Amino acid sequence: MPCPGGFAKKCAVSWPGPTVDMKRLVVFREDLLPISQTFIKEQMLALRRWDPLLTGLRFVRGLDLQSLNCRLLSGWLPRRLARKLVPPLRELELAPPGMRQQLRKLAPALLHVHFATDLVAVWPLLKSVQAPILVTLHGYDINIHEECWSGEKFAGSRYPSRLRAIARDPRVHFIAVSKAIQARAIEYRLPPEKIWVKYIGVDVARFKPADRPVSQRKPTILFVGRMVAKKGPHVLIRAFARLRGRLKAAELIMIGEGPELAAAQQLATELNVPVSFQGMQPTESVLAALNEARVLCLPSVTAANGDAEGLGVALLEAQACGVPVVTSARGGATEGIIDGVTGFAFTENDVEQLSARLCAVLEDDDRALAMSHAARQFAVQSFDIRKCTQELEDLYEQLTA
């Protein structure tokens, strides 16, 4: 498959090596790169002291990667045969032929792996690197109940035990994207002294308030996220149906795709509420929608298998744009907002409470405007991607010292 964004030449030639006085950072993801993982791309682009290279095992339709230096690892076996061999090789904890040497030739000073699932899936390959390995825990890779891993495509029910065993390797360290994820990782029996909380942050220069203040906008509620169980789209649709009885002019726009989309559309039809489902949208379209929204809602719930929101980048993007937020996200409701100041937290699955919180923003112009100003200030102070990435680079240097 050709490189996304038409930069096949970049992927075919030898990597030229880091800029003078910059250490080489290799960022690893098996699949390069789903559109839902824009945060990985943005974090790499924000690096200033390290020279990043993105690598993985296959390209997928998703993000345009032209702005990143990229290298695909591939074995010497034919692709079809390699795909058949990958599952048994993983069970035997063996690396695909030829890939270890390719990864070592990249000579990383540090290897940054996103998602612990990738760490476990390709550990036989990654452990061939002698550099420190830093793993970002994002959510499902640490929240899903241990007994629910059986039948997964890699490691199966052994995923939790394999992750704990790998965590004992002195090279391996972890980043949690929120304090809630850090607490869960400790519950998972990962070494507490090897887990740092580092927020990914957002580009507050790009995500910024529009000219028209929220107090002058239509009563529009915006949802941005994958249509999966833990995002709670059904909770928001039910709350919207309830508040429509009080505020007929209210509108709900839902951006995102996923396995729960059809069920969400069916629910909106059953409740006879006009929800605008807009599917997956590029960042510019999300930004345009934020500039028209009065409030953003992230009604996260804990899924049956334990999966839950880590923090919610959409919350940070909205607040950077001066849009108040209402959320029940496990990390977002406690760390990603200031409850009552930049938006409202609510108890997950509480439709009545969510409806009341949304009405409080939609109906009170003064409150909405005050929250808008506070939200922007909070995002700039706490989640500016430049500051967050500087702290990440400090950790890189600490681990490679």
More confident site: 232 or 19: 232
The whole-chain average pLDDT of the chain stands at 89
How much is the average pLDDT of 160-186? 95
How much is the average pLDDT of 110-135? 93
How much is the average pLDDT of 308-331? 92
Beta strand 343-345 with 58-59 is unpaired
Check residue 166 and give its pLDDT.
Answer: 96
- Nearby residues of 107 by Cβ (< 8 Å), 6 or more positions away: 24
Q: What are the pLDDT digits (tens) for 36-94?
A: 899 999 999 999 999 999 999 888 888 899 999 999 887 554 556 555 656 665 665 66
Residues 327, 343 contacting (CB under 8 angstroms): yes
CA dist 168 → 74, 173, 391 (Å): 28, 9, 24
pLDDT at 274 over 90: yes
- Gap between the Cα atoms of 277 and 269, Å rounded: 12
Residues 336, 327 contacting (CB under 8 angstroms): yes
- Backbone Cα Rg of the chain: 22
pLDDT at 386 over 60: yes
- Gap between the Cα atoms of 298 and 315, Å rounded: 7
Which segments within 292-364 are labelled E, that is strand? 295-298, 325-327, 343-345
For the entire predicted model, the pTM comes to 0.87
More confident site: 189 or 93: 189
- How many Cβ atoms sit within 10 Å of the Cβ of residue 162? 19
Question: Mind listing the domains of the chain with CATH numbers?
Answer: 8-201+385-400 (3.40.50.2000), 214-383 (3.40.50.2000)
How much is the average pLDDT of 112-126? 93
Confidence of residue 2 (pLDDT cuts 50, 70, 90): very low
**Per-residue buried b or exposed e for 104-136, using 16+ beta carbons within 10 Å of the residue's own CB:** eebebbbbbbbbbbbbbbbbbbbbebebbbbbb
More confident site: 77 or 191: 191
More confident site: 27 or 87: 27
Q: What are the pLDDT digits (tens) for 213-271?
A: 999 999 999 999 999 999 999 999 999 999 998 999 999 999 999 999 999 999 999 99
Confidence of residue 151 (pLDDT cuts 50, 70, 90): low
Count helices and strands (H / E) in the chain: 16, 15
CA dist 398 → 391, 394, 401 (Å): 11, 6, 5
How much is the average pLDDT of 129-145? 93
Which segments within 44-109 are labelled E, that is strand? 50-56, 58-59, 70-72
pLDDT at 114 over 60: yes
pLDDT at 300 over 80: yes
- Gap between the Cα atoms of 129 and 108, Å rounded: 8
pLDDT at 5 over 70: no
**Side chain identity at 16, as an amino acid letter?**
P
Check residue 16 and give its pLDDT.
Answer: 46
Nearest to 137, CA basis, from 103, 154, 112: 112
pLDDT at 154 over 60: no
Residues 192, 380 contacting (CB under 8 angstroms): no
- Gap between the Cα atoms of 106 and 24, Å rounded: 8
- Nearby residues of 163 by Cβ (< 8 Å), 6 or more positions away: 116, 119, 120, 188, 190
Check residue 329 and give its pLDDT.
Answer: 86
pLDDT at 9 over 50: no
Check residue 84 and give its pLDDT.
Answer: 61
Q: At what angle do helices 233-244 and 261-271 cross, to 10 degrees?
A: 20
- Gap between the Cα atoms of 81 and 394, Å rounded: 42
pLDDT at 3 over 90: no
Residues 315, 296 contacting (CB under 8 angstroms): yes
Check residue 26 and give its pLDDT.
Answer: 97
**Per-residue buried b or exposed e for 231-269, using 16+ beta carbons within 10 Å of the residue's own CB:** bbbbbbbbbbbbbbeeeeebbbbbbbbbebbeebbebbe
Q: Output the six-digit token pair for 374.
A: 């506070």
